[in-house]
Amino acid sequence: MPRRAAPLWDALAETVRSGWCPGLVAGVRINGETEVFAAGSLDTSASAPMTEDAPFRISSLSKLMGGALALSLVADGMLELDDDVARWLPALAAPRVLATPDAPLSLTVPARSPITVRHLLTFTAGLGIDFGRTPYAAATRELLWGPNPPAVAPEEYLAQVAALPLAHQPGDRWMYHAAADVLSVLLPAVALTPLGQLLEERIAVPFGLSGTGFPTGNEQFPAVYEAVEGGLREAESYRDVFAAPPVFGSLAGGLVSTVPDYLAFLAGLADDTVLPPDLRAQMTADQLTSRQRAGMIEMSGPDESWGFMTAVQVGAGAPWSEPGMWGWSGGSGVSAAVCPNGDIGVIFTQRFMAGPNDTFDFFWEPFGQVRDKRPPGISW
């Protein structure tokens, strides 16, 4: 059977041959038909070929699964979007807020409102990554930044977060990443179920995901590399963190998955087969006010906004994209998005992204071309 996405696969094979990374796996659903492609090897020494079902550390693509997990509890009435999280996490009751974002940590005011579930899902809880040179940024760099999950148990992590002031009033500004780790502590407290079990029961089993969850220590991961002058160097600290079950199960960046699994997850989410349609629609729609979006624009530009644990395209974007697309990327070299018509693209590589100018256009541009060449109204 011919592979309709062959031009895309040819482009990805050339990316591997160029030495950009030793190997990769990608998958698409276009007009209801799916294909998966693997190229290259597990490491620079070509010890074994890359396979379509290879497990990857999916870093920030974990966030979308965390959002779906949280909304499954909302759907079952176990919590509501505007619930005060202090009901389950009393350490976060009556938070203090910096008088100004660049103030010393000792100069605080009371929070005008509690931190809610909605604040965590939209990354507007007032805590997260501060990319500036402020006392808050210096104090939180080890605790709130990725790519590695927190190195302490959930209770200790929460205690350390609670001991810090918020950088912004709850609901005022989008701040990246850390709210997803707070959500990782909240959800098992709500459900009275360990997070890994909760993820299995509500995401892995319903979506039919056999290779998704927290690391067990038994996975044969592709090596992960960072670009250095003259080539690639293995990211050893990141490798070692995922070599055993985690101390902290992180929905911000601690999950492992495969491309077939993640493609199935996004398809099930887009097709409303697990979450109620109204909650899925809210998750994948812009949830930020113009004031809140200032933080998102600072990180991702004016064409992106945020739903519930996923980015949402609101502007023209790149030529291959369109308003209404939703998805995200991860610093370990992974990216995924869903188009308004239900087409899906997923790419897992083994090369850390070096910064905002390091993109996945090598995948998304040919993906867009393959979609555009589809005969109108004709199924693959």
Taking the C-alpha atoms of residue 179 and residue 194, their distance in angstroms, rounded to an integer, is 19
Instruction: Tell me what pLDDT residue 339 has.
Output: 97
Whether the pLDDT of residue 7 is over 90: the answer is: yes
* Cα 328 versus chain centre, distance: 6
The per-residue pLDDT for range 40-55, each reduced to its tens digit, is: 999 999 989 999 999 9
Confidence bin at 229 (pLDDT 50/70/90): confident
Query: What pLDDT does 3 receive?
Result: 74
Cα 169 to Cα 94, 263, 288, 329: the distances in Å are 12, 37, 15, 27
- Determine the average pLDDT of the residues in 282-292: 97
* pTM for the whole structure: 0.95
- Per residue in 122-139, pLDDT (tens digit) is 999 999 999 999 999 999
- pLDDT of 377 reads 40
Domain boundaries, the chain: 6-59+194-372, 70-191
Local confidence band at 380 (pLDDT 50, 70, 90 cut-offs): very low
CB–CB of 307/284 below 8 Å?
Answer: yes
Q: What is the pLDDT of residue 1?
A: 36
Please, what's the largest Cα pairwise distance for the chain? 66
Q: Which residue has the tokens 């979450």?
A: 275
Model confidence at 168: pLDDT above 60? yes
Can you give the pLDDT at residue 358? 77
Report the CATH architecture of 6-59+194-372.
Answer: 3-Layer(aba) Sandwich (3.40)
- Give the span between the Cα atoms of 307 and 309, in whole angstroms: 6
The whole-number pLDDT of residue 356 equals: 63
Q: Comparing C-alpha atoms, which of 327, 315, 344 is closest to residue 284?
A: 327
Query: Is the separation of the CB atoms in 264 and 64 below 8 Å?
Result: no
Sheet holding 326-330, edge to edge: 33-40, 23-30, 344-349, 334-338, 326-330, 311-313, 304-306
Q: What is the C-alpha separation between 185 and 16, in angstroms, rounded?
A: 39
**Same topology for domains 6-59+194-372 and 70-191, yes or no?**
yes
Is the model's pLDDT at 261 over the cut of 90? yes
Q: Please give the class, per CATH, of domain 70-191.
A: alpha beta
pLDDT of residue 230: 77
Mean pLDDT for the chain overall: 94
User: Is 78 exposed, middle or buried (CB count within 10 Å of its CB: 0-12, 13-18, 19+)?
Assistant: middle
pLDDT at position 374: 53
332-379 pLDDT per residue, tens: 999 999 999 999 999 999 999 876 667 899 999 999 999 986 544 433
Phi, psi of 243 (to 5 degrees): -85, -5
